[in-house]
């Protein structure tokens, strides 16, 4: 039987492998990139995907035995802002605070608040859209909360840590590539049911 650590290793590798290839390519091009902040950032966004249950190809292909509804869109959808403000709203704010903090800390081109906020909103929107193929919820309140969290994280960086990392990474697209590649790795490579049935018994006997 699989335990949490085995599942986690598989999930992390799906997100990290595409980012590692991109990082190596950038290094070969002689770009000066500190590895530790990038690792922290990629692990963080992987954790967001894991916590939110971002959708993947396996959600589209896998149909539980006896399921009647074969529609691709399975999520509950809420497009009414602030109709319910509960504990999850504030947890969604907390979840994106690290994004608003880490992005301007690491990347020089995102040290203007509007760029970081737009990135946070886009990141959240991507996850919400991916959840359409899951049995979770696609909720505009999550998008609002995540954007607020990004803003709070940016303010924390601006007030307390703006001079902490004096040699930030250049490149307007780097952070977007890390987000997209980690998401696509999870979307296309993470097949938990296939992994449990086919691969895990061979590795973890």
Residue keyed to tokens 């986690």? 8
**What residues does each domain of the chain span?**
4-203
Could you tell me the pTM of the whole model?
0.87
- Tell me: the pLDDT tens digits for 94-122? 999 999 999 999 999 999 999 999 999 99
pLDDT at position 175 over 50: yes
- Tell me: the pLDDT tens digits for 46-80? 999 999 989 888 777 765 555 555 677 778 899 99
pLDDT at position 40 over 80: yes
Residues contacting residue 194 through CB under 8 Å, at least 6 positions apart: 58
Residues contacting residue 166 through CB under 8 Å, at least 6 positions apart: none
């Amino acid at each position: 039987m699989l335990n949490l650590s085995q599942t986690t290793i598989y999930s992390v590798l799906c997100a990290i492998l595409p980012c590692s290839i991109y990082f190596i390519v950038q290094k070969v091009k002689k770009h000066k990139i500190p590895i530790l902040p990038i690792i922290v950032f990629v692990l963080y966004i992987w954790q967001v995907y894991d916590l939110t249950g971002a959708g993947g190809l396996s959600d589209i292909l896998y149909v539980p035995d006896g399921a009647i509804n074969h529609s691709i869109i399975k999520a509950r959808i809420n497009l009414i802002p602030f109709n319910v403000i509960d504990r999850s709203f504030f947890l969604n704010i907390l979840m994106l605070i690290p994004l608003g903090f880490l992005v301007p800390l690491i990347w020089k081109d995102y040290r203007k608040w509007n760029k970081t906020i737009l990135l946070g909103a886009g990141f959240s929107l991507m996850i919400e859209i991916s959840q359409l193929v899951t049995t979770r919820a696609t909720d505009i309140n999550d998008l609002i909360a995540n954007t607020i969290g990004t803003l709070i994280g940016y303010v924390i960086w601006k007030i307390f840590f703006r001079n902490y990392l004096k040699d930030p990474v250049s490149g307007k697209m780097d952070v977007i590539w890390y987000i997209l590649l980690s998401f696509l790795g999870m979307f296309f490579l993470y097949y938990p049911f296939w992994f449990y049935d086919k691969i895990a018994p061979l590795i973890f006997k």
